[in-house]
Amino acid sequence: MDHRDPERWSQRIPIMDKQNDTLYFDGACPLCNAEMKRLSRLKNDSLVLVDIHQAALPDNLEKHNLLRNLHLVKANGEIISGLTANIEAWQYTRWGFLWRWMHWPVIRLIAEHVYSTWADLRYRNRYQQ
């Protein structure tokens, strides 16, 4: 299966950092940058934050996919994206429990819709003009 295939994102693939989980974010996005700044102050050392514009990316991750929404690459190779990556990233803080309600079934449907709509609009406005 080609690494550009979206189905591949949910599979385990090799990553560079086998010790820590890595959250890739768009540092050119003011809202993303503000959230990552907050998260960086609160997170533990098990999570590494990577601005995709400032770092060399692993061969198995393509920049245009990372620009669309957050991607969390777990140390075991699992890749999580979108709202789930955001919720998971906050679990590396002592405040992670405050985000867990977003996994509740009805809330999750609404939150996923809001996140994906916002992410699509942000990507189109910023990168597809």
Residue 73 and residue 65 in contact, taking contact as beta carbons nearer than 8 Å = no
| pLDDT value at residue 1 | 36
**Tens digit of pLDDT for each residue in 36-81?**
999 999 999 999 999 999 888 888 888 888 999 999 999 998 999 9
Instruction: List the chain domain ranges.
Output: 6-127
Answer with the residue of higher pLDDT: 8 or 44.
44
Helix, strand, or coil (residue 85)? helix
Residue 23 and residue 70 in contact, taking contact as beta carbons nearer than 8 Å = yes
**Tens digit of pLDDT for each residue in 24-38?**
999 999 999 999 999
Q: Read off the pLDDT band of 118 (50, 70, 90).
A: very high
Does this model's pTM top 0.75? My answer is: yes
Q: Which fold has domain 6-127?
A: Glutaredoxin (3.40.30)
Cβ-in-10-Å burial (0-12, 13-18, 19+) of 1 comes to exposed
